[in-house]
Amino acid sequence: MNKQFSPLIAMAIICIIELWLDAASSLKKDFVGEAEVLKLQLSPKNSS
């Protein structure tokens, strides 16, 4: 295992986490909306 990869991996993980956190707030709204739609689509018998 090369120690040179450790800082690169750490930086990559940090960048990914930061991007995910930035998008999380807006994605949560989309996920909640899609979750509701999926619930209606997966359980049409219960809805209608």
Question: Any idea what DSSP says for residue 44?
Answer: H
Reduce the DSSP state of residue 42 to 3 states and report it.
helix
Which of 47 and 10 is assigned the larger pLDDT? 10
Which of 14 and 3 is assigned the larger pLDDT? 14
At residue 12, what is the residue type? Answer: A
Q: pLDDT tens digit string along 6-46?
A: 888 999 999 999 998 888 878 788 888 888 888 888 875 65
Every domain of the chain and the residues it spans: 5-47
Which of 4 and 39 is assigned the larger pLDDT? 39
Predicted local distance difference test score (pLDDT) of residue 19: 92
Q: Could you tell me if 46 and 39 are in contact, meaning their C-beta atoms sit under 8 angstroms apart?
A: no
Question: Any idea what DSSP says for residue 48?
Answer: -
Predicted local distance difference test score (pLDDT) of residue 44: 58
d(CA 28, CA 22): 11
46 phi and psi angles, rounded to 5 deg: -75, -35
Q: Does the model's pTM come out above 0.85?
A: no
